[in-house]
Structure 1
Amino acid sequence: MSGSLSPSEGRPLWQGRTLALLGIVLVAFSLRSAVASLSPVIDHVAEDFPVSPVVVGLIGAAPPVCFAVFGLLTPLFERRFGLERVAVGALALMTLGLVLRGLSIDSVTLLAATAVVFAGVGAGNVLLPPLVKKYFPDRLGVMMTLYSTMMAVSTFIPPLVAVPIADSLGWRVSLGLWGLFAALALLPWLTLLIAERRAPKTARAADGDVEIDPTDGLHDLTDAVAVATGPITTVPANPRVFGRLWRLPMAWALALVFGTSSTMAYVSFAWLPTMLVDIGGVTPATAGFLLSLFALLGLPCGMLVPILVVRFQATRPLFLFAVAAGLTGLAGLFFAPTVALPLWVSIFGLTAIMFPLSLVLLSIRARTPESAVALSGFVQSIGYAIAAVFPLLVGLLHETTGGWQVPLLVVAGVLVVSIPAGIVAGRRRTIEDDWELRHGRW
């Protein structure tokens, strides 16, 4: 890292920044628990008021839509109000939405509350990496790994406990209790804001933000793991660079790989428990456990994939393995859903390989920080737009056909169609190389 970080070099992780450490961990936990806590108890909700497949599909489409929209809006708010104030606003939205979701009286209010939740989550996704860079510039690798691990943990815990809590205390408690963690995450940031207002101006100036190159040292293994945990969001993308990406096969290939990864995740979080109850004959509690198993596989994938890509250039083998695993798992669910159901879910869960794979490629498929930021914005905007379509489409197909065979075939089709994109993304060249091969000097 740059010499500007030397004052904090070797500084203990908690020294003078315990509140920031606690705040980042709690924010990371809240971001994913909101996504994974609803679908396991949707049958309990439906006992109180009807929830159509279209509404469930819209709820499944809400995360990628909000991630795309608020991924663009949050940097504007951050420049106006500052990281901590916008983080407090995002957490307040999450807390409000999670509580309101537990108080829903019909499918419209459930959908509206979910939209409020994911507005906050979308902003939080953008804010977390810059917060880590601001408070822990000397511990980027450790902190990125810590918060990515916490996000993985908070993805598989909610499906595991949602149904037992709903059975004993009701679905409203099962949904609303996650607002408690978002409310707890507010406390460290509110305390930091109050302390900042009381601190002398000279002290604040001396301890101001550190300007950090978001891709400084990206080709080091630790930073590659760090990049794989979240988007690059600390500097604005150059419109000229962004405009060129629309003409580059490499950029589109990365966007399609990211879109395929997000599609597998959000279709599963929206529909997998219901699907497993219908075709596998399991109880809602078991379906929630299997969704938790699906989510758990993201943890080892997130840790191992960046190492395999950076050290061994294993992009194509990893991608093709993920596609093959996804197709195998879907075939098992299609042809033998009542036999070895945990095995089929686990194999399908290996599609989680695509997420860290596509994110780490954002760092090594660009030469400069400027082009890396533009590529990140392009890939995630297109990818989340793709992912937003399929939870709703799966719901419509399920309602129209009355079964899960056609939706399973559509999901399998997404994996097959993505294969050429994965092959192109595996080319060992940057977007600058791609441009120069076709149009001359970058």
Structure 2
Amino acid sequence: MPGLACSMTDSSPPTAARLPTWLWLLAVVLITLNLRPFLTAPGPLGHAIQTATGMGLRMFSWLTLLPMVLMGVGTWLAPAALRRLGLRPAIVWALLAIGLGCALRLAGANAWVLVATAGLCGAGVALVQGILPGLIKRQSPHRMAVMMGLYSAALMGGGALSAQLSPWAMQWGLGWQAALAMWAVPVLVTLPLAWWVLGRLPGLPAPVQTAADHAQAHTPANTPASDTGWLVRRPRTWLLLLSFGLMNGGYASTVAWLAPFYQTHGWSGTESGSLLALLSVAQALAALAVPALAARSTDRRLWIMAMLALQVLGFSGLACWPDAAPTLNALVLGVGLGGCFALFMVVALDHLPSPTQAGALNALMQGGGFILAALAPWIVAQLHQSSGSWTPGWLYQAGVAALVGLLSARFNPRHYAQRLRAPAT
């Protein structure tokens, strides 16, 4: 059973002093900032990369498709790594994988090297994403919505930095390979802090358990001990997975194609990167603000609908009026994407009171959702290949956002317990 383990077997002292809140927040932010730069850097450099490597649009889409698939699969495999390594070493090894994947892009003149390094980074990201949400709920149970907003904002903020700084670095003479590889540096900066902070988190039980073990240990008393896959057998789990995956496909398509799209309209790599960075900043601000605003009620549906409506408007603008107000459109789309991502993370955690169970559900949603989302850039590339235009792809994403709105209407918090009721003995 895929999911989260919030335990550790490394040598963290059980009597460690309570960690200051600001240091815990700093660790979450710095770790999370490293999870998206490798993904957003190639888009603004797309013309240079394609010219140097001969990559077509479909091949270029693999720089997003492969890591997102691995994010999904890797999130499900996180318990096995945690069982062998413990919490702290697992996250540190994951960060090392991200850093190594970025650094190896110095040898990325070959298209397959770029795809392979994207996969290595995606595998590292998957492990971190399979751990942090449940860990956040455990460590900050009374500020969970705000903390998930911070986590989501840092996620988008890292993407914004990369989208802006990567084309600048190339413009300053580093070359596109170095502009991709430089994102190994912030990983190296984060590693010592992550090792120190994660070794001092209080209240983490040992030994390490799989998500199945966690579910078994924390499910209601009427749950059979042998039934560890009950979350998989709940339709609500699959509804969350489908909704999150379809919604997140809009983010994947935007990361992959927004900059190349505007380069076909005569924009430079730096200009298109700045637009993607602006969109990512809007995502980060929305991811931080919207969950805090939505925390006043346990019913997040109106907020989700509002964010999806902004996505429909933004994708429709790209399809029909791309040159009318690109900056305003990027802001609208960014708010819709960032706010919706953070809200779905909160909604998944809302469904179950136990942090371990909620973490397992969140990991299931992310795992399958990222696999589904990975298809979106490839679909947009296929639509472009067959039509010779970007318009069908952007309209496709607008339609998907509208569909997710219909699915999300079912997330009534009064029915959470019923929808995820544990099986009877």
User: 1:122: Cα distance to partner?
Assistant: 1.4
Task: Indicate yes or no: 2:289 matched with 1:304.
Answer: yes
Question: Quick one: distance in 2 between partners of 1:290 and 1:52?
Answer: 23
| One-letter amino acid matched to 1:252 | W
The corresponding residue for 1:336 is: 321
Greater Cα shift, 397-406 or 304-313: 304-313
Question: Which structure shows the higher helix fraction?
Answer: 1
Which of the residues 368, 375, 399 maps onto 1:389?
A: 375
Greater RCO structure (CA 8 Å; 6+ sep): 2
Contact 2:294 2:300 in 1 (8 A): yes
Contact 1:83 1:131 in 2 (8 A): no
Change (3 A) 1:267 1:235: farther
Question: Quick one: distance in 2 between partners of 1:112 and 1:189?
Answer: 26
1:324-380, CA deviations, whole angstroms, 9 ceiling, x for partnerless residues?
Answer: 211212222222212111112221222322111111111322354464244323322
The corresponding residue for 2:4 is: none
User: 1:139: Cα distance to partner?
Assistant: 10
User: 1:270: Cα distance to partner?
Assistant: 0.9
User: 1:41: Cα distance to partner?
Assistant: 0.7
The corresponding residue for 1:34 is: 38
Task: Indicate yes or no: 2:359 matched with 1:359.
Answer: no
User: 1:189: Cα distance to partner?
Assistant: 5.3
Task: Indicate yes or no: 2:50 matched with 1:65.
Answer: no
Question: Quick one: distance in 1 between partners of 2:177 and 2:196?
Answer: 30
The corresponding residue for 2:178 is: 173
User: 1:244: Cα distance to partner?
Assistant: 5.3
The corresponding residue for 1:243 is: 230
The corresponding residue for 1:220 is: none
The corresponding residue for 1:221 is: none
| One-letter amino acid matched to 2:65 | A
Which of the residues 366, 373, 376 maps onto 1:380?
A: 366
The corresponding residue for 2:8 is: none
Task: Indicate yes or no: 2:212 matched with 1:210.
Answer: no
Aligned pairs for 1:120-131 (under 5 A) are 120-128=124-132
The alignment partner of 1:86 has SS state of helix
The corresponding residue for 2:407 is: 421
Question: Quick one: distance in 1 between partners of 2:16 and 2:140?
Answer: 10
Contact 1:263 1:386 in 2 (8 A): yes
Which of the residues 278, 281, 284 maps onto 2:266?
A: 281
Contact 2:16 2:202 in 1 (8 A): no
Contact 1:262 1:387 in 2 (8 A): yes
User: 1:152: Cα distance to partner?
Assistant: 3.5
Contact 1:104 1:110 in 2 (8 A): yes
Task: Indicate yes or no: 2:78 matched with 1:101.
Answer: no
Aligned pairs for 1:427-438 (under 5 A) are 427-434=412-419
Task: Indicate yes or no: 2:190 matched with 1:185.
Answer: yes
Contact 2:212 2:228 in 1 (8 A): no
Normalising to structure 1: TM-score of the pair?
Answer: 0.78
Normalising to structure 2: TM-score of the pair?
Answer: 0.81
Which of the residues 347, 350, 360 maps onto 2:332?
A: 347
Contact 2:104 2:181 in 1 (8 A): yes
Change (3 A) 1:133 1:370: closer
| One-letter amino acid matched to 1:341 | P
Change (3 A) 1:320 1:287: same
Question: Quick one: distance in 1 between partners of 2:346 and 2:133?
Answer: 14
User: 1:295: Cα distance to partner?
Assistant: 0.9
Task: Indicate yes or no: 2:27 matched with 1:54.
Answer: no
The corresponding residue for 2:255 is: 269
Question: Quick one: distance in 2 between partners of 1:192 and 1:416?
Answer: 41
Question: Quick one: distance in 1 between partners of 2:348 and 2:141?
Answer: 22
The alignment partner of 1:403 has SS state of coil
User: 1:429: Cα distance to partner?
Assistant: 2.3
| One-letter amino acid matched to 1:186 | L
User: 1:312: Cα distance to partner?
Assistant: 3.2
Percent identical among aligned pairs is: 24
Contact 2:169 2:179 in 1 (8 A): yes
Question: Quick one: distance in 2 between partners of 1:189 and 1:329?
Answer: 37
Contact 2:67 2:120 in 1 (8 A): no
| One-letter amino acid matched to 2:185 | L
The alignment partner of 1:243 has SS state of coil
Change (3 A) 1:107 1:400: farther
User: 1:147: Cα distance to partner?
Assistant: 5.2
Change (3 A) 1:252 1:121: closer
What's the Cα RMSD here?
A: 3.5
The corresponding residue for 1:227 is: none
The alignment partner of 1:418 has SS state of helix
The corresponding residue for 1:406 is: 392
Contact 1:236 1:373 in 2 (8 A): no
1:102-137, CA deviations, whole angstroms, 9 ceiling, x for partnerless residues?
Answer: 321221111111111111121222344577689x77
Contact 1:367 1:432 in 2 (8 A): no
Change (3 A) 1:293 1:44: same
